[in-house]
Amino acid sequence: MKILLIALDGLGDRPILEKKSILKNLKNKENKRKYEENFRDFELLTPLEAANKENIDRLAEEGITGLSYPIQPGIVPGSDTGFLSLFGYDPFRFYVGRGILEALGAGIQIKPGELAFRANFCTIEKKNNEWFIKDRRAGRISNEEAKELAKQISNLEIEVSDEKKRKHKFECSFYHTKSHRGVLVIRKKDLKEKTVEKGMKEGIELNPLISDIDKHETGKFEFSKPLEESESAEITAKVVNECIRKINEILENHAINKERKKKGLLPANCILIRGGSMIEKTNKEGTVKEGADYRGLYGWGVSIKPFYEKYEMKAACVAGGALYKGVARYLGMDVIEVKGATAGYDTDLNAKVKAALNALNNYDFVFLHFKATDVAGHDGDAEKKKEFIEKVDKAIAPVLKLKDTIVVLTADHSTPCIMKAHSADPVPILIWGPEDRIRRDNINVFGERTVTRGGLGQIRHADVMPIVLGIIEKAKMFGT
């Protein structure tokens, strides 16, 4: 038996779309009847409930459904922690921070002692010597413009002094990934004994225990602060803040930003960073594979057990965004690159589905990720979220022809359009497969509220892999 896990990022939502207008647009009489029966007591629908999605609904009707808390009730998950949990890795033990995961996904070589951050191009304003974040994504700047801006900040040298006025030099490298997204990597300047300047001190280590600049909200800009009383944390925070100031200085008067202002667009005049993390050591080949030790947000080392070793299954990932590839690589999955996979609305859905289905010929487990449902949620665009769900529904039609395959369809977290942010709400989940493997329930429309009556009940993402292993008869007996 093969396993295909389909994730619509940020799929979960709250009722926001008027039911009357949705029902009016349903041309299929059978669909209209089902929707009227399922939502007769509601005036508003979520984008998922409102979407005309015959294939996803059929997967639900022929499968078993429920609600799943990505981490646990009351906790707002990130995509990184949500997926770690979904793959059966306790995020409280195995989460190292966003930076390393983004770097792994982007194929950036990170060596022991180097510090990586997830970065966003952003728009800031200055008033009375204070900085304010106007937009966290610089108006979702285009991929082409962001790529050009990134060239200007790709390699910066930063020098800071400690309390004893000793100087320390570092290299800050910015790598553009997609759209407004990027990775910032800070490295100690390679100082050989003969070339050490007077007053220069070798041996200072970078430290991930500093505060994030990106707080996931607009408002007052807060520079990084050390989270522990140590020289390394103090110096690291200084390096980060000096790097941010230098980047702002470079981007402020860049020709691209001047042109954006003329057009009434937001300039990408700074970056925000979060999730600082690093590798402690690597295996003998110097690459990040099984047994690599990481140190991240909480300061402790992590040694990850690869997915294929944990489950005895060869796994692959099909995704457009760096983070999702990074989580996959972190767990030892192979990443299949697909032309046209953009992690946006314009991603080539058919190419991604085709790549995932082809991968099932060579892999036991395939992770297929779609990002734009989350993008729409963050933008507060319920109609666009609904439309993208409908596009995904059409693209995954070939999935219904699979034999000897278990399909799981769910999300890493909820991103309600009304909030424009992640929420602690559970996400809908369905599991589909051969009739003799699945205890089907009576759900015929896949939605946040319909699946509350589903056969899975309320579970946590940590339960998903054990449930699936049970279905494919790979679960181990407890007791005798």
- Domain positions in the chain are 2-89+304-471, 104-277
The pLDDT, as a whole number, for residue 390 is 96
Q: How far is CA 314 from the centre of its chain?
A: 22
What are the pLDDT digits (tens) for 391-446?
999 999 999 999 999 999 999 999 999 999 999 999 999 999 999 999 999 999 99
**Predicted local confidence at residue 131, as pLDDT:** 94
Mean pLDDT, residues 98-103 taken together:
90
pLDDT digits (tens, 9 = 90+) for 195-224: 444 444 455 788 888 999 998 889 999 999
Tens digit of each residue's pLDDT (9 = 90 or more) over 323-339: 999 999 999 999 999 99
pTM strictly above 0.75:
yes
More confident residue, 191 or 101: 101
| 2-89+304-471 maps to CATH 3.40.50.1370 | no
* Secondary structure letter of residue 306 according to DSSP: P
Lowest mean pLDDT among 63-72, 107-116, 150-159, 279-288: 279-288
pLDDT top residue among 34 and 296 = 34
Confirm if 39 and 46 have CB atoms less than 8 A apart: no
Burial (CB count within 10 angstroms: exposed 0-12, middle 13-18, buried 19+), residue 372: buried
**Burial (CB count <10 Å: 0-12, 13-18, 19+), residue 217:** exposed
Burial grade of 387 (CB within 10 A; 0-12, 13-18, 19 or more): middle
Per-residue pLDDT tens for 179-199? 899 999 999 885 444 344 444
Single out the residue of 321, 350, 218 nearest to residue 10, CA to CA: 321
pLDDT digit string, tens, across residues 125-143: 999 889 999 999 999 899 8
Please give the structure tokens belonging to residue 249: 């200085």
Distances (CA, A) of 169 to 67, 156, 157, 232: 51, 11, 7, 13
Task: Give the 3-state secondary structure of residue 288.
Answer: coil
Q: How many residues would you count in the chain?
A: 480
Q: Name the range with the highest mean pLDDT among 184-188, 349-353, 476-480.
A: 349-353
Tell me the average pLDDT across 72-86: 96
The closest alpha carbon to 330, from 86, 146, 104, belongs to 104
- What gap in Å lies between CA 254 and CA 259, rounded to an integer? 9
Band (238; pLDDT cuts 50, 70, 90): very high
Nearest Cα residue to 462 out of 389, 407, 406, 410 = 410
Write down the pLDDT at residue 195: 40
| Neighbour count for residue 374 (Cβ, 10 Å) | 24
pLDDT digits (tens, 9 = 90+) for 12-36: 999 999 988 777 777 778 888 888 8
The pLDDT of 162-166, averaged and rounded, is 83
Distance from C-alpha of 19 to C-alpha of 47, rounded to nearest angstrom:
10
